[in-house]
Amino acid sequence: MIIGSVLLSSSVFVNLLLLLITYLIYRSFRSRDSKLSRPVQINKATGTQTFTYQELQQATDGFKEELGRGAFGTVYKGVLGSKETNFVAVKVLEMRTGESEKEFEREVSAIAQTNHTNLVQLLGFCNEGQHRLLVYEFMSNGSLADFLFGASRPSWYKRVEIACGVAWGLSYLHDDCTRHIIHCDIKPQNILLDSTLAAKISYFGLAKLLMANQTRTTTGVRGTRGYLVPEWFRNMPISGKVDVYSFGILLLELICCRKNYKPEVETEAQVVLVDWVYDCYHDVNIIVLVESNEEASSDMRRVRRFVMMALWCIQGDPALRPTMKKITQMLEGAVEVPVPPVPSSFIS
């Protein structure tokens, strides 16, 4: 009888424990779903148009034509109004986590305050129930990554224009916005090209908005491996110099028409682009970087200047990196580029 009563009481206890755990899990999921179904508080003064989910569903023909896919959502081609030429890009965010919600808030808050020819324009958004969608101008030539690393190499002079366009856009974000913005994720995939191949910076989901008179801030690691600055891993405050660093990597990719990391190369010394570029610069053999490109080979003075600028941008010490405004002046030839020091952060 004693053994039976002990077993019975323990069975009841286990059942009660299981019921309690099940109830807590249910409450947790209900709480999360409830939070995700509430509309995000968006500043009404942004002047950006709001759309219903049904309107954007119709505009994209039921989200039929996919343009691209990212970590938190998928982009679809759509048409606004009756004009068949009024194309837009509609990004549908997958609201599975709180980080998705933060990305939506950051994107709307950051890009809605900007107005520059080298930034992708945010036309509107949907903030209805659990639906979060962003509506952008349509960029017919896709991303710089597809253009730069594809089968056909873009012309040298077009790459020069793209480098200048990205630099102008970043300079605007850092110095000329009402609230200065650090993009935090500059890379070829986040640079889009319009019908004339003009470069426009996109994706502000990781952007950091600074307060008035603020130049630095602290935050967790943001961005993409290969374009991340050393200060992310040193618990240092970050500034617009993180974008300068990423721009330096991007500039080298534009010069050489290859990715920063490329294991399938002729020699081991060429695997990491920045190491190879510095070796070529140190050995006064920069022409090797563009030897298969006739246009660039005939413009070696500018190639050398761009390489020197990029080496300044990727310095480990952010104080040594120039500002984006200074970089735009260097790109245009208005300011001389001094001899860069060894980019120790990479060589080490």
Element (H, E) at 67: strand 66-69
Asked if 89 and 77 touch (Cβ cutoff 8 Å), the reply is: yes
Classify residue 232 as left (phi > 0), alpha (psi -120 to 50) or beta: alpha
Q: Which of 240, 212, 214, 209 lies closest to 106, judged by CA?
A: 209
Residue 338 has a CB neighbour count (10 Å cut-off) of 10
Strand partners, 79: 87
Helices (DSSP H) in the chain: which residue ranges? Answer: 2-37, 53-59, 98-111, 144-148, 156-171, 241-256, 273-282, 294-297, 300-313, 324-331, 344-347
List phi, psi (to 5°) of 143.
Answer: -95, 160
Q: Which of 84, 78, 52 lies closest to 65, judged by CA?
A: 78
Structure tokens at 274: 């920045």
Structure tokens at 48: 């950006």
Element (H, E) at 191: strand 191-193
Catalytic residue among 33, 176, 185, 194: 185
Torsional sign, CA 120, 126, 132, 133: negative
Q: Which of 259, 147, 160 lies closest to 194, judged by CA?
A: 147
* Annotation says 176 is catalytic: no
Active site residues: 185
